[in-house]
Structure 1
Amino acid sequence: MSTTGFSEKLELLLLGLLLFALPTMESPKTIALVLYLIVWAARRFSLAELRQYRPHAIEMSLMAILAASAASTAFNWPFPNGAKGFSDTLRYVLLFWCIYRAGYSTAQHRSLAYATTAGLVVGLGLATFELATGRRALFELHSAGILTQSAIYISVVFVLALGVFLTRWLPRGPEPVARTPLWPWALAMVAMLLALVVMGSRGAMLALALAVLFIVVCVNRARLWAALAVGAVLVAAAGFGMLKFSGAGNMPASIQTRFASERLLQSNLEHYENIRVALAQVRQTDSLWLGIGPRNYRSIDLSRLSFDPPLRLPGAEGKLNHAHNLFLTKLVEEGLFGLVAFLSLIGVVLYELFTALRGGRWYDWRWFGALGALTIPIVGGMVNTPFYQEHAMLAMALMAIYLGSRRLPGARAAFGQNLSQ
C-alpha cells in the first residue's frame, strides 16, 4: 500500500473511531479527534493553497461562531470555566470544516454513518447496564452529557438511521441501491425509540416527532404512513406499559420518576424561571453584545437582578446551568454577536436543505442526517439544553457530511482544487 493510500485510510479510520466513541468513551474520542486533525492537515495543508482559500457561506458562519466565542472569552476573562467554552466551540468548528473540505466519497460517507450508528447502539447497551446495576440513577449515555443531551444525541442518530433505512426500503431514481440487510437498521431504531421512552425527555421526543412527521410528509408513500401509524401506537403502548409497571429495580424506578407528575411540574417551573433569569440578565446588565463568557451561565449574580414577581427557584444559585433555551443561553453567554453568528449557521444549512428539497435532489440519507442534525438540537434546545459538547459535535459532523457531498458530489479532488472552487 502506498503512503498516500495508508494516510487516507488512517484519516477515515480516525474519524470513524471518533464518531463511534462519541457517546461512550471520553479519552479515545479526544485522542481520535486530535490525531484526525493532525493527519488531515498533514495530507492537505500548504501555504500556497491557503493563499487561494475563498471561504464559502457556511465557512463564513463558522468563522463568525469561532470569533464570537473567542471575543466573549477574552472580554470576560477570567471566569470559572475559562477556555472550556471556546475549546468546545473550536472542536466542533474544526471537525465540521475538515469533513466539509475533505472530499470524501459516498462510500466513505456511508462508512461514517455505520460507525455513528454502531457507536450509539453500543452506548445504549452500556447505558442499560449502568442503570440496571445502579451505577447511574438515570438512563444516560456514558459520555454524551446529561439525560436531555443524551436524548437529543439519540434522536439525531435515529433520523440518520431512518434516512439510510428509507432510501433502501423505498428507493427512488436510477442510481443503484446497496443491497444490504435492512433489519439491523430497523432493530437499531427500535432500540433508540425504547431508550427515548425510558428517558422521558419531552423536548427530544417532540423534536423527533416533528422531524419524522416532516420526513413522512415529504416521502409521502402509503407504506411509510402505515409504518408511522403502527410505530406511534407501539411507542405509546410501550410508554403506557412502562408507567404502569410496578416491578422492583432501577429501570422501572427511573421510568416512573421521570414521568411522575410532581417532577413534570417542577421541571416546567425550572424552565420558566430560568428563562426569566436569562431575560433579566440581558435586560438589566451591560452584557448584551459579548455576553458573560461561553459555558459561564452559572456565574450569573442573581443579587444584581430584580424580579417581579419574585423568583420561584429554590436553591437557584445551584440550578443556573443554562437558560433552558439554546438561543437565550447563546445570547446570555456570547451576546448578540454570538447569537447572530449561530443563526447564520442555521440559516445557511436550512437554505441548502430547502434548495435540495425544492430541486428534487433531497432523497439521500445524508440529507436526512443533516435535517435531523439541524432540527433536533434546535427544537429540543428550545425548551432545554444548549448546543454543547457531544451532540453538537455529532450534529456538526452530519451537517458537514451533507454539505460536503453537495459541494463535491462523488469527487475526490485535491485540497488545492477544493479551495479554489
Structure 2
Amino acid sequence: MIKNLKTFDLFMLSLMIVSLPSVEAPKNFFLVGYLLTRSIFEFIEWKKRKIKWTDWDSLFFVFVLTAFLSTIYAGMPHLEEWKGYMVLLTAILSGWLLSRAQYSRENYQGLFQIIVLSALAPLLVGLYQYLIIHTKPDLQLHSVGHVNHSAIYLVMIFGASLGWFLSHVSLDKLKLSNLYLIALGILSLIFFVSLIIGQSRAAYGVGIILGLLIFYFVTKSKKIKLIGSISIILIVLLSFILKTSVIEKQIANQKTNNVLAYRDKVWNVSLEASRFSPLLGIGLSNWHFITLDQLKKSVEGRGKIFDAKNYIFPGHSHNHYLSALVERGIVGLLVTLTFMLLWIRHIITTFKWANKTKESILLWSGSLSAWVTTFGVGLVNTTFHHEHAILACLFLGIYLSYTRQYLPRK
C-alpha cells in the first residue's frame, strides 16, 4: 500500500510538473491528485505514529493558518479572499507535502530535470508566437500567461538550468566533445536570452545577478568562474549595443523621469490600504477592489490632503512584501519575512555539504534560484502566486526533502 502510494504520488507530481507551464486543466487535475495522494500517505503515517515534525513543518503550518485567519477576518470581506487563499494554499501545500516526501536520490534528480526541461517546449512555442507569427504581443508561457509572470518563471528555470550545467562542469573537466555538457550549456543560454526577449527589466536584472551567483558558488574552478562572469557581462553589453527592447524600455522611462514605471504610485495604494485592516489585511486577491474613494476617506480621516494623482491601480501591488502587508496584514508580512529568512538560512547552512557532490549542488542551485527570484523580483513585482509560486515551492520542497533525508545529523 505505502509503496504503491509513493509510486502514484511521484507519478502525479511528475505529470503536474510537465503540465505546469503548458496546459491549465491537466495541471490543476494532477496537482489536486498529487496533494490528495500525499495527504493520504501522511494520514497513514500518522496512524502508525511515524510522523516526524520539524521547524519547517511549523513554519508551513503557520503560513497556512495565518493566511486562513486573514481570509475569514478579511478587512474587505465577501470578495475574492477565498479564491486568493486557495491559490496560496495550493502553492504552500505543494512545497510542504513535497518537503515531507521520501524519494530516492535518482527520483530527486529526475524531478529537478523534469522541472527544467518542461519549460523548454512552452518557451519555444511562446517565441514562435511572439517573434514569428506575431499572435502574442510579448513572450509568454502558455499556462503562465502575462509577460512579467512568464519572466519570473523563466528566471527560476534559468538559474536551475545553469546550476545543472555547472554541477557537471565543477567536478568534471569541460570537454567540448561532451555533447551532454554542450546541450546543457545551450539550454542555459536559451533561458537567459529569453529574459532579454521577455522585456521584464526586473527579471532580466535579477537573472544577471542570479547567473553570477550560480557561477560563483556552484563551480569550484576559478577559470570557469571568470569565463562565466565574462560571458554574462558580454551578453549584457551586447543587449545594450543592439538596443534590445528591455534596454530601450528602461531608457525611455529614464528620459521621462519614470524609472519605476509608476510603481511608486502603485505602492502608495498598498501603503494607504494597509491601514484599512492593519493586523490581518484586507484579504488575499482583494487588492484590485481598492477604490480611490476608500483611499481618500483614509487620508482625509488622518487630517491630510488627498491628491488622486499619487495613486495608480494596475490590478495588484507590484511588490511581494507590500502584497503581504495589505492583503494579510502585519501578521502576514512577518510570516513572509520569517519564511524568507529561514529559507536563505537553510541555503547557506547546507552549502558546504551540498557542494561536495553534483547531485546535491544541483538541487541547492534550484532552491537558491527560487529564493533569489521570489524575493529579488519581489521588490518590484508580485512574485508569489499561481504558477511561479508553485514552481518556487517545488524547488524549495525538493531540496528540503532531500536534505531532510540525506543531510548528516550532528
TMscore range, shorter length: 0.7 to 0.9
What secondary structure, in the 3-state scheme, does the structure 2 residue paired with 1:139 have? Answer: coil
How do 1:268-417 and structure 2 match up within 5 A? 268-282=260-274, 285-305=275-295, 306=299, 310-312=307-309, 316-317=312-313, 319=314, 321-357=315-351, 359-362=352-355, 364-409=361-406
Contact 2:195 2:207 survives alignment (8 Å) = no
What secondary structure, in the 3-state scheme, does the structure 2 residue paired with 1:371 have? Answer: helix
What secondary structure, in the 3-state scheme, does the structure 1 residue paired with 2:345 have? Answer: helix
For 1:129, the equivalent position in structure 2 comes to 128
Give the letter aligned to residue 109 of structure 1: Y
Q: Deviations over 1:331-362 (max 9, x none)?
A: 000001111112222122111111123x4444
> Could you tell me how far 1:298 is from its partner in structure 2?
0.9
Q: Does 1:223 align with 2:224?
A: yes
Distance 1:107 1:312 in 2: 56
Distance 2:306 2:251 in 1: 27
Distance 1:205 1:93 in 2: 26
> Could you tell me how far 1:264 is from its partner in structure 2?
8.4
Aligned-CA RMSD value: 2.7
Distance 1:19 1:170 in 2: 27
Q: Does 1:107 align with 2:98?
A: no
Give the letter aligned to residue 401 of structure 1: I
2:63 to 65, 84, 98: 65
> Could you tell me how far 1:236 is from its partner in structure 2?
3.1
Distance 1:101 1:297, change over 3 A: same
Contact 1:11 1:39 survives alignment (8 Å) = yes
Distance 1:205 1:35 in 2: 35
Give the letter aligned to residue 264 of structure 2: Y
Give the letter aligned to residue 138 of structure 1: D
For 1:261, the equivalent position in structure 2 comes to 252
Distance 1:259 1:135, change over 3 A: farther
Distance 2:305 2:318 in 1: 20
Distance 1:311 1:268, change over 3 A: farther
For 2:140, the equivalent position in structure 1 comes to 140
Aligned residues: 387
For 1:414, the equivalent position in structure 2 comes to none
Return 360-369 or 348-357, whichever deviates more. Answer: 360-369
Distance 1:64 1:264 in 2: 45
Contact 2:57 2:96 survives alignment (8 Å) = yes
Give the letter aligned to residue 229 of structure 2: L
Give the letter aligned to residue 277 of structure 1: V
> Could you tell me how far 1:269 is from its partner in structure 2?
4.0
Contact 1:57 1:348 survives alignment (8 Å) = no
Distance 2:282 2:34 in 1: 32
Distance 1:405 1:13 in 2: 18
Structure 1 length normalisation: TM-score?
Answer: 0.84
Distance 1:223 1:82, change over 3 A: closer
Distance 1:138 1:259, change over 3 A: farther
Give the letter aligned to residue 193 of structure 2: L
Q: Deviations over 1:202-239 (max 9, x none)?
A: 21122222222233333452123112202321343145
Q: Which runs of 5+ in 2 are unaligned?
A: 173-177
Q: Does 1:234 align with 2:235?
A: yes
Q: Deviations over 1:51-93 (max 9, x none)?
A: 5645311121111111121111111274332411110111012
> Could you tell me how far 1:409 is from its partner in structure 2?
1.1
Q: Which runs of 4+ in 1 moved over 4 A?
A: 3-7, 254-260, 262-267
Give the letter aligned to residue 134 of structure 2: G
For 2:164, the equivalent position in structure 1 comes to 164
What secondary structure, in the 3-state scheme, does the structure 2 residue paired with 1:143 have? Answer: coil
What secondary structure, in the 3-state scheme, does the structure 1 residue paired with 2:268 have? Answer: helix
Distance 2:10 2:388 in 1: 20
Contact 1:85 1:295 survives alignment (8 Å) = yes
Distance 1:204 1:309, change over 3 A: farther
Return 208-217 or 13-22, whichever deviates more. Answer: 208-217
What secondary structure, in the 3-state scheme, does the structure 2 residue paired with 1:83 have? Answer: helix
Give the letter aligned to residue 339 of structure 1: L
Give the letter aligned to residue 263 of structure 2: H
> Could you tell me how far 1:45 is from its partner in structure 2?
2.5
Structure 2 length normalisation: TM-score?
Answer: 0.86
Q: Does 1:98 align with 2:103?
A: no
> Could you tell me how far 1:17 is from its partner in structure 2?
1.6
What secondary structure, in the 3-state scheme, does the structure 2 residue paired with 1:8 have? Answer: helix
Give the letter aligned to residue 297 of structure 1: W
For 1:28, the equivalent position in structure 2 comes to 26
What secondary structure, in the 3-state scheme, does the structure 2 residue paired with 1:408 have? Answer: helix
Distance 1:101 1:360, change over 3 A: closer
Q: Which runs of 5+ in 1 are unaligned?
A: 173-178, 244-253, 412-421
Distance 1:94 1:312 in 2: 40
Give the letter aligned to residue 323 of structure 1: S
Q: Deviations over 1:240-275 (max 9, x none)?
A: 3263xxxxxxxxxx7798566159855724211011
Give the letter aligned to residue 85 of structure 1: G
Q: Deviations over 1:86-121 (max 9, x none)?
A: 101110121112211111122111111121111110
> Could you tell me how far 1:407 is from its partner in structure 2?
0.7
